[in-house]
Chains A and B, each alone.
Chain A
Amino acid sequence: MLTLAKVTKKYGNHTAVEDISINMENGLYGMLAPNGAGKTTLIKMITTLLLPTSGEILYNGMNIWEMGTAYRDLVGYLPQQFGYYKNNTPTQYLNYLACLKKMPKKQVAGRIAELLELVGLSDVAHKKMKKFSGGMLQRVGIAQAMLNDPKILILDEPTAGLDPKERVRFRNIISALGKDRIVILSTHIVSDIESIANQVIMIKNQHLYQMDTVDAICNMLEGSIYELEIPNEEFESFEQEYQVLSARQESGHMLVRFYVEEEEGIPKNSVLCNANLEDVFLVVYQ
């Protein structure tokens, strides 16, 4: 079990995250927050790159800083900015990382082949990475994070820059990995985690805002999300009155999805909808 206990990180005077307490068991944790909310900061503390200004992070009750190597052996990490050597092939780079991870030499070649197969890069295993697309690099990133079969897999915005098809592919790979380990995945893209996260962690104003299952989080807004058809010309005034979450042009009119806090102000003919994670994101981080 991975525990964050009242973790705070300050960069000089600027507080990035404050007083965050979380418990994580095996499963997939989606960290959902907008740009600059402190996702990377939190992740870097969990990967021992940053020291918490206060509070501590424990793995099975032991401070991860004191565990040192023993802890890092359990970690697989895909940084937001995945660094690699342009002139290396995936195989060379994974070999080098296996060396840094001090994996037994005998296992390495087999493991690399297996992982490249998993992420669908077997046929470019010996091509230089400078010719790779963003999606291919991200897949090398996943493979590298999985090399040591980590108990804690941490992916910082792994889907940034991927096209929808790659994104789906990615989701499928990740969702399978969460069964017997802790997977932490940060993103500001709702669809990345909506269908696969066991728990969603939301950070707002430097604090932990909410941590729960997708359903439970969506239930927070139960009875507050409506849809209504309005004439095009009324849209502007409508937008001033209500918090519009989305609007779609339909033949001759608009279908708006909006959020209302109290029951009184709901316009006639509005249709009550089930809240989804996107609604929550837009409402919480309005």
Chain B
Amino acid sequence: MTQALDEIKIGGLGASRKRVEDNRFVRGKGNYVDDIVLPGMLHMEILRSPMAHARIRSIDTSKAWAIPGVRLVLTGEMMATRNLAWMPTLSYDTQAVLATDKVRFQGQEVACVVADDPYIAKDACEAIVVDYEPLPVIVNPRQAMAEGAPLIRDDKENQHDNVVYDWEVGDRAGTDRAFEQADLVSKLELHYPRSHPSPLECCGSIADYDRSTSKLTVYMTTQAPHIVRAAVALVAELPEHMIRIISPDLGGGFGNKVPVYPGYVISILASILLEQPVKWIEDKTGNLISTGFGRDVYLRGELALRKDGKILGVRMHTDADHGAFFSDAQPSKFKIGLMHSAFACYDVPTAHLTARGMYTNKAPGGVAYRCSFRVTEAMFFQERMVQAAADDLGMDQAEFRRLNFVRDDDFPHRTPFGFLTDSGQYGKCLDVGLEAVGYQDFLRQKEEAKKEGRLLGIGISVMTEPLGAGNSREYDILGIKMFDSAELRVHMTGKAILRTGAKSQGQGHETTWAQIVSHELGIPAEDIVVEEGDTDTAPFGMGTYASRSTPVAGAAVAMVSRKIRAKARKLAAHLLEVSEEDVEWELGRFYLRSAPDRGVTIQECAMAAYSNMPDGMEPGLENVSYYDPPNLTWPFGCYIATVEVDPETGVWDVLNMVAVDDCGVRINPMIVEGQIHGGLTEGFAKSSMQWITFDEEGNCIGSNFMDYLIPTAWETPRFELLETCVPSPHHPIGAKGVGESATVGSPAAYVNAVIDAVAHLGVRNIDMPLLPDRVWSAIQSAPSG
């Protein structure tokens, strides 16, 4: 008998295969946008507004033009002559490319300089004189709603207030009834503060327009190159086949590199005007104050409760601060993204959500910062409300959750807001976490510590989240449906190249996609090279964000491999001189059912596809698959933090952080764990230190890494990871998204833990980030603090 292939050995599904991309990264040979140098390349710098809201009286660029080495100075007025002063956003609004009438947030793009050298371009920006007439500034939704508030979007004809939308979902009347029948109503008001994804690499582009071929090539920090190509075709009115977007190595994305930013557009115009390559590399301040932020939502939440602990209904109202332009990068038709995925893991009979969006004088571009859009807020609000409700009932945190979970045998389950969850084992997931953290033991320790005046707390967060947009019925961007794609070419020696419409930013697609092919075809992973990010070569796809790569592009990889296998089966039958029905498959090999020793390998089939195909068969062994998922995937998880709070200083330390994640079948466990570590760290960052805020004049506090605090190795807690595995019922290999689960689920665990430590003093809430002074003040002003 021939020996069956060992799937782990060949780097298939489940192998913790070392990453292919690391070979270049550890040598410093990654190829990020700023590493690329083109002959004759010029450098662009953007002048940004120092004011949050002001009319532009005049712009004098003469001193900038006079500096040697300056090639071009552009203002909004000049952009307007080409109809490019404004551009459409991904949310059907408009956004200024370079300001014409007024500036609407601090950091807005006002002018730009192209010069021989980035230093000269910076000098020239400083030489531009802009005369501003200051206007009253709005920095939160409350001010935006106030009587007599200045109108931010006076550029829009039918806009008479600062409201972006008023939207609702769920059953209002049914929810009202549930609240009438409640024994107890638990209320909580929360703010999920503005945050910024802040990948270490900022945004940038190199536009290269070649007059002789009419071809525009743009190297760009983008998570979604094909969407950008479509957008450029529409905005710049260039023919789509003459646009090539290349997204090289990306130094992180986390949602920040999904939108189309003014800088990209201006660099393209500059290159067209100058007929030379133009490079724009944003600095960190530009990145933090002008590009896609995350969150900034206020919640009024209410739970209708029966006294035995059963949740009867949920009522939520959210006010979202969208900044000056509504440019949310989200693919759903729901105005507030997937906020109404809240309470999906709980069996809630009825729910109602109202959501309002407001314009303010802050940066635009809400992005799904390491999450499906607004799912992070949804799950944070959910788990904070759940904790408050358990406290109000005097019930144990874990018990209250267990009582209300959707039961394991209750799938598929329609949530009160209309989502269809397809699988889950929430109770088991919670139990695994509780056991790891030593729940009962910790509760005893906590009581002991209290006697000594020490404050210990434990915080639980359980959630299931919709990941992997979409299905094309409900999810699209500018009308383009949310599918994804994979193209596989198997060469005659059985080596292969795979291309997908996704785009890795550190997730390791070059490693993991090959593992899926390997699982489906038995070709060793090292024999498969993976390419992404070049719109001239990759099949059309919607890119990588919202944890959609594995659910959608990953599924396409499996499906295209199966198409290849189907053709290989025909080739195998031909080589074995039998009919197709007599041929069986095992990993990497077809064999004769009646004589298992007689078989041909996938590599032999590949050779036959080019050298010995049956009559009438097309030569070659290549195919492409477009995958439109039937549903989102529903990973779930449980995060439990234990903390000690110092009552004297308000400083809190994480004692233990346990994460139990269920992302179904794991393609590469090592990479999955790396993703979870990263997510837990961002959850810790947001709950403890990281936020973007503004003073009343609209100055951004958090415009650099001195003010925008990102935890280092020193502050970051150690994590303990555990797992359960309920495969996705519809994904071809049973996988679900995971890259963002811990970012979504963990913040509530940290916050719940701190609140748990001080709840007996009468503290009900502290808004994130839980900076020591906030915690200290809350203790001081608590009824028994």
A and B interact physically: no
Binding site for A on B (CB under 8 A): none
Residues of A within 8 A of B (CB): none
